[in-house]
A = this chain, B = another copy of it.
Amino acid sequence: MIPTSRNLAGIAEQVGATVQGDASVIITGVAPIEAGKPGCIGFLANRKYQSHLATTTLSAVIVTPAMAEGCTTPALIHPNPYATYARVAQLFDDSPRPVPGISEAAHIHPTAKIEKTASIGPGAVVAAGVVIGERSIVGANTVVGENSLIGDDCRIYPNVTIYHGVTMGHQVTIHSNSVIGADGFGFAPENGLWEKIPQMGGVSLGNNVEVGSSTTIDRGALNNTVLEDHVKIDNQVQIGHNARIGRATVIAGCSAIAGSATIGANCMLGGGTGVSGHLTICDGTIITGGTNILTSIRKPGSYSSGVQHDGTAAWMKNAARFKQLDKMARRITQLEKQLAKGGD
């Protein structure tokens, strides 16, 4: 289905870019600009690497209008070369896609409503009341619980578990072994034991959401856990019950968002970020990798925590001093006072 080659003019039309130079050059794939495979197209987004343009053996490059001037290689011109590259690469993406239809080895409840253009893999289990939209793919051995709704053009990879009452929009991707809608972690203490608080809300994923592999998004206690449109979540991320992730926010791998945290729109959370429960993080916040957020963030900006690595022996000495920090600060104040007095 995917042609193995196409000319630059055709690509330009499909991705909305302008051609400079020979529009008939045949492109067979994408490559990094420094690798420079003939037949391939690459991109240059950063003027710092503009010297590559002179030496590249790529057959075409994607550049900004400003960079196009000195470019002798055939080029696609677009203000955002990186996003244009992404769209070009999509044209050459030949990842296998299952054909439409329901595998004979899938287990479909008779009340499930599955569009004819959808694809359900072998071993997949689709429970009562589930709705699966046009062209959506449910991978092998994935389980979709009662009354969950999957929109159009979704792709759920194999071995995913979607509990009951999960709703997702269109063009949602969920990678393998992720779990959407398991119980939030809620127990009431009583006499040294724990009484289970039933988790009766659901999960709502907007349009164009992508969820990585082995990520877990818990259902809400009473209301829904919500990921708004265009949210992108990496692998091994945990999102607690009743959290809300704002539009187009991205969260990198191994991050943990505790229950009832509200993260604004257009935030970027680095890998291994932790956000405590019931916090609010405002729109446009950047959190660098490995940071723990223990209090709300009300002002957009970049935030960090943690300690940079050091040789273990040196680190041990310094880490031991951490426990004396408050005392050290008081000793400095005391010295300043003494010296001020002495200076009289």
Contact = CB atoms under 8 A, between A and B. Distances in A.
B185 A253 contact: yes
Interface string A1-36: 000000000000000000000000000001110000
Contact of A238 (B253, B258, B292, B309): B253
Interface in A103-147: 103, 105, 107, 121-123, 125, 127-128, 139-141, 143, 145-146
A86 B158 CA distance: 35
Select the residue from A95, A178, A311 with max chain B CB neighbours within 10 A: A95
Select the residue from A208, A295, A307 with max chain B CB neighbours within 10 A: A307
A250 B187 contact: yes
Contact of A305 (B215, B252, B315): B315
Interface in A177-207: 177-179, 182-183, 185, 187-190, 192-198, 200
Given A122-B125, A311-B301, A323-B310, A164 B95 contact: yes
Contacts of A157: 161, 163, 182
A276 interface: yes
A160 B318 CA distance: 43
Copies of this polypeptide in the complex: 3
A273 to B, nearest CB: 10
A343 interface: yes
A293 interface: yes
A86 to B, nearest CB: 4
A87 B193 CA distance: 13
Contact of A105 (B107, B139, B222): B107
Nearest to A310: B323
A212 B163 CA distance: 13
Given A194-B250, A290-B274, A218 B238 contact: no
A143 B158 contact: yes
A70 interface: no
B303 A311 contact: yes
Contact of A83 (B93, B122, B189, B318): B189
Contacts of A323: 308, 310, 314, 318
A313 B303 CA distance: 8
Given A32-B222, A159-B177, 7 more contacts: A177-B177, A179-B235, A185-B235, A306-B306, A314-B323, A317-B326, A339-B339
Interface of A: 30-32, 80, 82-83, 85-87, 89-90, 92-96, 103, 105, 107, 121-123, 125, 127-128, 139-141, 143, 145-146, 157-161, 163-164, 175-179, 182-183, 185, 187-190, 192-198, 200, 208, 210, 212-216, 218, 222, 230, 232, 234-236, 238, 240, 248, 250, 252-254, 256, 258, 266, 271-272, 274, 276, 286-295, 297, 301-326, 328-329, 331-332, 335-336, 338-339, 342-343
